[in-house]
Homo-oligomer: A and B are copies of this chain.
Amino acid sequence: MKAAVMGYGTIGSGVVEVLETNKDVIAERAGEPIEVKYVLDIRDFKGDPIEKRIVHDYKIIENDPEVTIVVETMGGVEPAYTFVKAMLLAGKHVTTSNKALVADKGAELIAIAREKNVNFLFEASVGGGIPIIRPINSCLTADVVEEITGIVNGTTNYMLTKMAEEGMEFDDVLKDAQAKGYAEKDPAADIEGHDACRKIAILTSLVKGQQVDFGDIHTEGITKISAVDIKYAKAMGRAIKLLASSKKTGNTYLAMVAPYLISKEHPLYMVNGVFNGIFVHGNMLGPSMFYGSGAGKLPTASAVVADMVDIAKHADKNIPLKWNPEKLVLADYRQCENAFFVRTKDSKEKAADVFGKIETVEAPGVTGETGFITSSMKEGDFEEKAKNLDVLSVIRMGK
A positions within 8 Å CB-CB of B: 18, 21-22, 25-26, 28-31, 123, 129-131, 134-135, 138-144, 267, 269-270, 282-293, 296, 298-299, 301-306, 308-310, 313, 320, 322
Contact = CB atoms under 8 A, between A and B. Distances in A.
Given A284-B21, A299-B285, A142 B292 contact: no
A140 B131 contact: yes
Contacts of A26: 141-142
Given A291-B288, A291-B289, A293-B285, A306 B130 contact: no
A141 B313 CA distance: 11
Contacts of A289: 289-292
Contacts of A134: 135, 138-139
B286 A292 contact: yes
A286 B285 CA distance: 26
Contacts of A270: 267, 269-270
B298 A292 contact: no
4 shortest interchain CB distances as A-B pairs: A288-B292, A142-B305, A131-B139, A284-B302
A288 B128 CA distance: 11
Contacts of A301: 142, 284
A57 B7 CA distance: 61
A144 B184 CA distance: 31
Given A22-B284, A141-B309, A142-B301, 4 more contacts: A141-B310, A142-B305, A286-B292, A290-B290
5 contacts: A129-B288, A131-B288, A141-B306, A284-B299, A289-B291
> Number of copies of this chain in the oligomer?
2
Nearest to A309: B141
Contacts of A320: 31, 313
A390 B83 CA distance: 71
A139 to B, nearest CB: 4
Contacts of A288: 129-131, 290-293
A135 B139 contact: yes
Nearest to A276: B288
Given A269-B270, A270-B267, A284-B302, A142 B309 contact: yes
A267 B291 contact: yes
A306 B18 contact: no
A128 B296 CA distance: 31
A308 B301 CA distance: 31
A30 B291 CA distance: 28
A49 to B, nearest CB: 18
Contacts of A299: 284-286
A288 to B, nearest CB: 3
A289 B268 CA distance: 12
A22 B144 contact: yes
A142 B291 contact: no
A292 B131 CA distance: 15
B267 A285 contact: no
